[in-house]
Amino acid sequence: MAHWLHRLLNPRSIAIVGASERRNGLGAITHRQLLDSGFQGEIFPVNPKYQSVFGQTCYASLDDLPSVPDLVVYAISGLPLEQSFERALALQVGGIVIYASNAIENESEPRLTERLRMRAAAAGIPVCGGNSMGFYNYDSGVLVSFDHPPRHRPAGHIALIAHSGSGMTYLANNDARFCFNYVIASAQEINASVGHYMDYLLAQPSTRVIAILLETVRDVPAFIAALEKARAQSIPVLITSLGRTEKGAQLARSHSGAIVGNYQALVAACQRHAAILCHDADEMMITALLFANTGPVRSGALASMLDSGGMREQMVDLGEHYGVRFAEISSATTAVLADNLEAGLEAVNPMDGMGALGDRSAQTFLACGKALLDDASTALLTFEFEFRDDFSHYPELFDVARELAQFNDKPVVLINSCTFTNVSGSAAKLSAQGIPVINGIDVALRSIRNLMRYSEQTELLNTSPSAPKHVDFNAALVKRWTHQLSGLDACDEITSLQLMSDFGLPSVRFALVDNDEQLIQAAEDLGYPLVLKTAMPGISHKSDQKGVVVGIKDPQHLQQAYGDLHQRLGKRVLLMPQVAVGVEVSVGMKNDAQYGPMIIVACGGVLIELLAERAFRLAPVSVQEANLMIDELRLARLLAGVRGQPVLDRGALVELIVHFSRLVLALEESISEIDLNPVIVNESGCTIVDALVIPGRATSITGATPGIWL
State the greatest distance between any 2 C-alpha atoms of the chain, in Å, as a whole number: 101
**What is the per-residue pLDDT across 572-621, written as a single tens digit (0 to 9) for each?**
999 999 999 999 999 999 998 888 899 999 998 766 666 678 899 999 99
Confidence tier at 82 by pLDDT (50, 70, 90): very high
How far apart are the two ends of the chain, measured CA to CA in Å?
Answer: 47
Which H/E stretch holds residue 120?
A: helix 112-123
User: What's residue 390's pLDDT?
Assistant: 82
Percent helix / strand / coil, the chain, rounded to 5: 40, 20, 40
Give pLDDT, residue 543.
Answer: 80
Residue 459 confidence (pLDDT) = 82
3-state SS assignment for residue 328: coil
Which of the pair, 705 or 156, is modelled with greater confidence?
156
The pLDDT score that the predictor gives to residue 417 is: 85
Judged against a pLDDT cut of 50, whether residue 157 lies above it is answered with yes
- The model's pLDDT over 230-247, given as tens digits with 9 standing for 90+, comes to 999 999 999 999 877 666
Number of Cβ atoms within 10 Å of the Cβ of 195: 22
Confidence band, pLDDT 50/70/90 cuts, at residue 700: low
pLDDT of residue 599: 94
Q: Is the pLDDT of residue 256 over 70?
A: no
Chain CA centroid to CA 213, Å: 10
Beta-carbon count within 10 A of 628 CB: 17
Tally Cβ neighbours within 10 Å of residue 200.
23
- Of 253 and 222, the one with more pLDDT: 222
Nearest to 241 by CA among 183, 273, 281: 281
CA–CA gap between residue 411 and residue 427 (Å, rounded) = 16
The kind and range of the H/E element at 213 are strand 209-214
Question: E-strand spans in 215-300?
Answer: 237-241, 276-277
Domains within the chain, CATH numbers bracketed: 6-213+222-228 (3.40.50.720), 296-463 (3.40.50.261), 473-508+582-710 (3.30.470.20), 509-578 (3.30.1490.20)
The pLDDT score that the predictor gives to residue 485 is: 94
Distance CA 174, CA 27 (A): 23
112: pLDDT confidence band, cut at 50, 70 and 90?
very high
Q: For residues 544 and 528, give the distance between their C-alpha atoms in angstroms, rounded to a whole number.
A: 25
Which is more confident, 704 or 673? 673
What is the amino acid identity at position 333? T
Closest residue by Cα to residue 450 from 214, 629, 236: 236
Q: So what's the pLDDT on residue 248?
A: 54
**Is the separation of the CB atoms in 507 and 687 below 8 Å?**
yes
Q: Where are the alpha helices (DSSP H) in 2-44?
A: 6-9, 26-36
Say whether pLDDT at 707 is over 60.
Answer: no
Whether the Cβ atoms of residue 643 and residue 612 lie closer than 8 Å to each other: no
- Predicted confidence (pLDDT) at residue 702 exceeds the cutoff of 60: no
What does the buried/exposed string (b/e) look like for 184-193 if buried means 16 or more CB atoms within 10 Å of the residue's CB?
bbbbbbbbbb
Q: Which of 358-367, 436-445, 556-565 has the lowest mean pLDDT?
A: 358-367
Asked if 239 and 277 touch (Cβ cutoff 8 Å), the reply is: yes
pLDDT at 197 over 90: yes
Give the other-Cβ count within 10 Å of 82's Cβ: 17
Please, where are the H alpha helices in 260-378?
263-273, 281-294, 309-322, 331-340, 361-374
pLDDT of res. 610: 66
Q: What is the CA radius of gyration of the chain?
A: 31
Task: Report which residue type is found at 600.
Answer: I
Q: Are 278 and 237 in contact (CB under 8 A)?
A: no
pLDDT at 315 over 50: yes
> Which whole number is the average pLDDT over 638-651?
90
**Do 32 and 57 contact (CB within 8 A), yes or no?**
no
Contact 551, 578 (CB under 8 A): yes
320: CB partners within 8 A, 6+ apart: none
pLDDT over 90 (residue 5): yes
Per-residue confidence band for 705, with pLDDT thresholds at 50, 70 and 90: very low
Whether omega for the bond prior to residue 620 falls within 30 degrees of 0, making it cis, is yes
Q: Which of 162, 103, 159 is nearest to 128 (CA)?
A: 162
Enclosing H/E stretch for 596: strand 596-603
pLDDT reported for residue 462: 78
Q: Is the pLDDT assigned to residue 106 strictly greater than 90?
A: no
Beta pairing partners, 693: 674
Give the span between the Cα atoms of 415 and 428, in whole angstroms: 13
Q: What whole-number distance in Å separates Cα of residue 363 and Cα of residue 295?
A: 29
- Note the pLDDT of residue 290: 96
pLDDT at 469: 64
Contact between 326 and 303 under an 8 Å Cβ cutoff? The reply is yes
Give CA separation, 330 vs 168, 297, 337, 538, 597, in Å: 45, 20, 11, 65, 47
Residue 285: φ, ψ to 5° = -70, -35
The model's pTM: 0.87
Element spanning 79, H or E = helix 78-91
> Looking at residue 358, what is its pLDDT?
62
Q: How large is the average pLDDT for residues 566-574?
A: 92
- How confident is residue 260, by pLDDT bands cut at 50, 70 and 90? very low
Compute the C-alpha angle 649/650/655, nearest 5°: 105
Q: What would the 3-class secondary structure string for 304-320 be? A: EEECCHHHHHHHHHHHH
Contact 93, 125 (CB under 8 A): yes
**Torsion angle (degrees, nearest 10) of CA 246, 250, 255, 257:** 110
- Residue 467's pLDDT band, with cuts at 50, 70 and 90, is low
- Residue of 581, 577, 585 whose CA lies nearest to 650: 585
